[in-house]
Amino acid sequence: MEALMQVLESTMEVRDPYTVGHQRRVSQIACTIGREMRLSEDRRRDLRMAGMLHDLGKFAIPSDLLSKPGKLTPAEFALIKTHPQVAYNILLPITLPGKTAQIILQHHERMNGSGYPQGLKGEEILLEARILGVADVMEAMCSHRPYRASRGLAETLDELTRNKGILYDAAVVDTCLNLYGQGLPAPRPVSAGPVPLAVIMPHPPVPRAQEMVPGVCALPQAVAGKTQTWAKLRPKGHRSWMHIGSVSIMAWLIMASIRSF
């Protein structure tokens, strides 16, 4: 299974290196939250894998649309919203452990039913998907995007707090505040000026060695300085033979998933 994930990651990286890095960081944040919420080892394993593959469906979306500056048209946003279902369809023939595929399918569902693709509400959404959804928002808002600067951690946690219990699971948000909000100044109002460009994501407390599960809940890494930033997660090198074979496999899977969507 790990080899398959590497093939899928390697294939995505050829087309969209940013998404691969985003998925890795989201997986790390989600695992940190899951550990803090005392999820079992099996559930954290599923959460880690879902985080690493949750945006797989964006392979079927034009790259210029993913990095488009400004507001998307209704038709463009409708296409973006297909990516959880496309990812689920791609992974359906593969026997993933536990509820990994369902977590990926549900990671954009919201507590009040305003999410997609199924419009699930509250407890209808898997807890792991609720965790992944919050981790996804955190990483996306705290990271630089081609079309905007980082929002910063203060504004990100303010977004989660304002929508706690509405869009995001209250217990998950409280866990994020406990992990990342310690010592953080009050969020700046939007009118106060531009948000600093630095990505400010402090490192949560590191658990004792016996509390860590190797390969399951790797923690986000930060670098020292005046502000802490995410360490860059670089791939371990390209494997040409893997790219050639995996691109063909991925193309076939995507075409099959689009036909069934």
Q: Which two tokens stand for residue 249?
A: 């496999």
| pLDDT attached to residue 65 | 87
Nearest CA to 48 among 77, 71, 27?
A: 27
pLDDT computed for residue 239 by the predictor = 40
How large is the average pLDDT for residues 57-68? 86
pLDDT in tens, 241-255: 344 444 444 444 444
C-alpha span between 223 and 232 (Å, rounded) = 9
The alpha carbon dihedral of 91, 97, 103, 104 has a sign of: negative
**pLDDT value at 218 more than 80:** no
Domain residue ranges of the chain, discontinuous segments joined by +: 2-140+202-260
Residue 120 has pLDDT above 80, yes or no: yes
| pLDDT score at 7 | 65
For position 245, what pLDDT does the model report?
A: 43
Fold of 2-140+202-260: Hypothetical protein af1432 (1.10.3210)
Q: Is the pLDDT of residue 202 over 50?
A: no
Least confident of 46-60, 154-168, 194-208, 218-232: 218-232
- The pLDDT of 41-45, averaged and rounded, is 96
pLDDT of 184 reads: 52
Residue with tokens 């993913």: 66
Beta strands 229-230 and 222-223: pairing type?
antiparallel
